[in-house]
Structure 1
């Protein structure tokens, strides 16, 4: 894929539900929407004034966060796509995640703040329902619990390094854990009710934690630079990670049916390198 200008670069990615469309946030303040089957660009959404660092889908609404601190909702079905703006962050919005039921949007910023916003409805304002300032570093890693809709996990950057678990309804921090390493990405594994974290400086690893105890289950080592992001495959059995060492790793980590899991689970990389370079 080539963007409109070779001087522009990709800052964020987000798959639409169903996998037909891929949203791309770029350095030239645009959000591009691509049809992945025909590999054609179907929309270029202009509304931001600075790079688009984060994206998240909620049905037909695509939400984007920029370096300016603004969050925009786009209705991708209509030409006048920019339908709402959320303001709260004073620095770049580096993390965005809609809850699985589509009721709440969580945003994390370089200002070390987390906001939780209600789903936009006609006649409503842009007030957040929660704002948390416990982290001491940028908050890029956000994950909603798929089996408990009011639970949000967040991870702090190099100057913080903590995983924090929040109850959105009560506004309380349920638990906190110092991982001793920058946290770049989080996800919940529904098969085993565990939390997976990706790390940069200083460990460059992936860790699986039992939830809600946050006790360490397994550590996945193989990357030689910071792990930038992770994702689960559709049956939630395999973790894919991408890192600054220009490699993608696949980790066969969970049984599809947890009833069949062995007492001692061996977590290993099934394919340590897919591409020597992903650029």
Structure 2
């Protein structure tokens, strides 16, 4: 060993270490690689035997630096939970938009099942700010992009309220949210000369968002989106036969059928430019020996009209011989008509206190008998409506003497439920989004009923009458 030290400059081990790690730190890196072999780290030459490894106590001037630190290494830095969340947020940001976590115990069997599970998961689980698991696209953390504020519900007076009306709840708690049901009308329109007649239907809302309102002998169109009001036509009020008794839009909202007191039925196209002869109507259809038609219902290109005589006459607007069928059965005026959504059955309500169900297969032939006669009402029936989320369900509403809503099975004619409302029922409509039924009453109130129990869940006060 002494011989080896003399061959390297006759220096002691401490002196050699000072050459490698001098007091001046800047010269350390220069000498370390060239003199590293004195410790036998790089091996010895063929004619020179290297040092054996052994622990050497360094001098105080050495500063206690480990000679192996020059080979590189890491030091442990504790990571806080907030930093872990930040790393996880960065991971979420780097994922594709369609990459979501599946927390179910088993993978979905089909895309439809997967979509159903995702919708149920979003509805039942409310995210908290610290719960980063099960992240979806709309709640990706720290996603710096421009987002639009959510649209406020109908009835909100303050548009900015929606920004502060929700709060994040812990995911361990599930709170049932109640939808906002406005208690006041969004718009109030003046309607002078509006005929308050139980046997007339002079207002209808099209699928294109246009409301047709008949005021005596004048027909107005109101666009719900723009608020624009248009006068479609205005007839001479001195002729009482010009009184409008019924209006009904076609299913696509392009054509408007208008009934008059003399029993005539006219067809209009609101987008049509007035021709040189000044006649706006596309055609006029008038059956013989008929008085007013108080209610209309479309089935494709066929308009079914209910007359004061108790007859239901079907008019095909495409052909010159427009009368394609006449159904007899009611003893008094027909005041309610509605085709089912699959266009296979027609329900009619009358002043004879009955509801009749008709099959479309009997349209155009000599058979005019109804399928069923529903006679549980004790008053005239104006409101008849098929359910749009359950095809076998029909609702009918009785007048002042009845004041009840009755639910029927259209396949068997069976009475399923009777609801006492305390007021005459003038109209019924179903809501497929929430599985609800709404009824309008002569006292001016609107009532919402929940399927399938049809318990009352909301009552909207009215100003006057509906």
Give the match for residue 222 of structure 1. 462
Pairs within 5 Å for 1:38-57: 38=272, 40-47=280-287, 49-57=290-298
Give yes or no for contact 2:447–2:458 (8 Å, CA) kept in 1. Answer: yes
2:243 is the alignment partner of 1:9: yes
Match of 2:429 among 167, 170, 187: 187
Mapping of residues 94-109 of structure 1, within 5 Å: 94-109=335-350
Extract unaligned runs of 5+ from structure 1: 228-279
| RMSD over aligned Cα atoms | 1.5
* Matched residue, 1:117: 358
Contact 2:436/2:448 (CA < 8 Å) preserved in 1?
A: yes
**In 1, are the aligned partners of 2:325 and 2:363 still within 8 Å (CA)?**
no
1:179-258 equivalent positions in 2, closer than 5 A = 179-200=421-442, 203-224=443-464, 226-227=465-466
- 383, 390, 400: which one aligns with 1:141: 383
**Secondary structure at 1:55's aligned position in 2?**
strand
Cα distance in 2, alignment partners of residues 189 and 143 from structure 1:
12
Larger Rg: 2
Q: Structure 1 or 2: larger helix share?
A: 2
Measure how far apart 1:190 and its partner are. Answer: 0.6
Unpaired runs of 5+ residues, structure 2, are 1-232, 274-279
- Between stretches 61-70 and 214-223, larger displacement belongs to 214-223
User: Are 2:316 and 1:75 equivalent residues in the alignment?
Assistant: yes
Matched, 1:129 2:361: no
Structure 1-normalised TM-score? 0.77
Say whether 1:65 aligns with 2:306: yes
Describe the shift of the 1:121–1:32 C-alpha distance in structure 2 as closer, same or farther (beyond 3 A).
Answer: closer
Cα gap change, 1:169 to 1:55, in 2 (>3 Å) = same
Residues 325 and 365 of structure 2 are in contact (CA less than 8 Å); yes or no, is this contact kept in structure 1?
no
Structure 2 contact 269–282 (Cα < 8 Å) conserved: yes
Note closer, same or farther for the CA distance 1:3–1:106 as it changes in structure 2 (3 Å cut): farther
Which of 1 and 2 has higher RCO (CA within 8 Å, sep 6+)?
Answer: 1
Q: What is the total number of aligned residue pairs between the two structures?
A: 224
Q: Deviations over 1:19-57 (max 9, x none)?
A: 110111111111111111127211111015111011000
CA drift at 1:150: 1.5
Q: Give the Å deviation of 1:2.
A: 2.0
